[in-house]
Chains A and B, each alone.
Chain A
Amino acid sequence: MTTLTGTVLVVVDHAGGALTGPSAEVLTLARGLTTGDVDAVALAEPDTTALARLGVATVHVPDLGPLAPEIAPVAAEAVLAVVAAVRPEAVLLVSSFAGKEVAARLAVALGSGAVVDATAVSVDGGGRLLASRSVLQGTWETSCAVRRGLPVVAVKPTAVEAADAPVPGPATVSAVPVTFSAVARAVRVVSRTAHPGGSRAPLGEAKVVVVGGRGVEGDFSLVEQLADEIGGAVGATRVATDEGWIDHSAQVGQTGVTISPRLYVGLGVSGAIHHTAGMQTAETIVVVNNDPEAPIFEIADLGVVGDLTEVVPQAVAELRRLRQG
């Protein structure tokens, strides 16, 4: 495989002082793209231990002053200041809603192009970055290239496995001064309340997700039980969040979180297009629904037609037995 020779710059995210899983994945991907350095841009106090383990050469920490990294223009201008200093050959980000906004602003500012929701990135014979992306609800696979200027690619969480670098990097911290525009300074953060994460993996980053739909009839306890039994995150369909059975942040689908886990388990999920758009690329799909006509059965690897209040407790008990046996 052809690789780049210059620096690849990765915009990394932190949560609770630790580097996030998706950021570790993007750094891992970046190492495979270049024989040069992989540098990071941290918009919060960097987790240098993790960054070193992942092979980062330099951690650029822009001075945001009183400004908040959650504001896309603030993040984008900070990254642009690092780009001007480092002159990388590519900029990679995590394809979250926030990451996609920053990617869009970078492409406009750099006069280049951005590809988001990338599931794989490679370098072609001409030294161009190629990014794979599935579109139209996972029914089409495309390969996109940025053919002008500095390529900006946002990589979908769970698209690659994170792995430590064979040789750790120095992860040298370098402060970067930034002059912010009036636009970046225009938005005030009135308040910010982080949801208690709990012990389960964040939905967008989980390898296993258990989703509850209309069929749970307001009771998410079985969904949570199964999720905890198999180490999964909990998700919901739009109906379930609109009904107030669970927080909106749990919504999987077109306007919620798009997931691509190894295992998707749907309980009482019918399979409306807005939901399947956000989970169709899951590797294995298992569903339990008492309506044999539910469209979700058409895409399920294993479908159970049955009452989930009977099927799920039995499955949980059997899983315990099998794993203890």
Chain B
Amino acid sequence: MRIVVCVKHVPDLQAERSLDAAGHLVRGDDDVLNELDENAVEAALALAEAVGGEVVALTMGPDDAVDAVRRALQMGAASGVHVVDERAAGSDVVGTARVLAAAVRKVGEEAPVDLVVTGMASMDGLTAMLPSALAASLELPQLTLAGRVAIDGRTVTVTRTIGDADEVLAAELPLVLSVTDQANEPRYPNFKAIMAAKKRPVAIWDLDDLSLASTGAEADGGPEVGTAGAGAVVVSAAPRPPREAGRVITDSGDAGTQLAAYLVENKLV
């Protein structure tokens, strides 16, 4: 079985994060693999181990983004693909899905791809739109937000909690799968795995390799990616004034009474 897992390099949650004048996320030196993608890599590896197969890690982003692929290789992916092209900068989720879909198709030219796995969301955008946008671009069925995944032959069954219901869904390969942080405990690569990962190949592709246009007239179907291809754009961005710490009281026997008075006086209840 051939599995492509999509990974993303994102700013560390613990770091100060900001947007630039164009409303794009400022990338930094301490960017990391999106932690929700660790669950995706783990799910992909576990499925490949269960039924025999290999995992290809795919990312799109600037030069540094290859670190996300490297991390997936250290965890056990067999090879990697890094789509890097300045013309793809500023892509919205639809453009990103187009790029990743084109890359998945290209990976599939050597041997068919049975499954594409993603995390549930990226910690920078948190829109949770990419898995569905990618499935739509690939014209494949989608099983999303899986808290548990099982495979039997060509049938994938997932269990998920969505809104107020528990659902069990099933579909046949090929498909797009997204997993939540409940799906597994991601493995931690040991020294041997880290050394072995250094020898694994990472293909570097640009938009030309994927036959995608970042320019062109709307009438001709372009531009498909990048800033010019983005249907949704940020027109303004400003930091919110930070929340200020308010009143802190240390309980000396009547804090509960004070808390109740605060809620009533401020008409909060």
Contact = CB atoms under 8 A, between A and B. Distances in A.
Interface stretch (B66-74, B102-110, B208-216, B244-252): B244-252
A94 B23 CA distance: 24
Contacts of A100: 127-129, 132
B199 interface: no
B53 interface: no
B19 interface: yes
Contacts of B165: 70, 192-195
B127 A116 contact: yes
B21 interface: no
Nearest to B147: A248
A302 B262 contact: yes
A263 B269 contact: yes
B50 interface: no
Interface in B248-269: 248-251, 254-264, 266, 268-269
A22 to B, nearest CB: 11
Contact of A273 (B13, B137, B260): B13
Contact of A112 (B145, B182, B231): B231
A189 interface: yes
Given A72-B144, A145-B235, A190 B247 contact: no
A167 interface: no
Contact of B263 (A197, A286, A292): A286
A17 to B, nearest CB: 14
A311 interface: yes
A183 B232 contact: no
B145 A97 contact: yes
A183 B141 contact: yes
B171 A208 contact: no
Given A191-B167, A193-B165, 18 more contacts: A97-B162, A100-B127, A101-B142, A104-B127, A104-B129, A105-B132, A113-B230, A113-B232, A130-B235, A135-B125, A144-B233, A230-B269, A255-B180, A288-B259, A303-B249, A317-B256, A318-B256, A318-B257
B268 A190 contact: no
A113 B128 contact: no
A108 B139 CA distance: 11
B163 A98 contact: yes
B169 A141 contact: no
B193 interface: no
B7 interface: no
Contacts of A145: 232-233, 235
A143 interface: yes
A107 B137 CA distance: 11
B83 interface: no
Nearest to B250: A305
Contact of A143 (B141, B147, B235): B235
- Most B C-beta atoms less than 10 A away, residue of A134, A138, A255: A255
Nearest to B243: A299
Contact of A315 (B17, B250, B256): B256
Contacts of A70: 162, 165, 167
A181 B130 CA distance: 20
Interface string A128-146: 0010001110111111111
A144 B162 CA distance: 27
Contacts of B236: 142-143
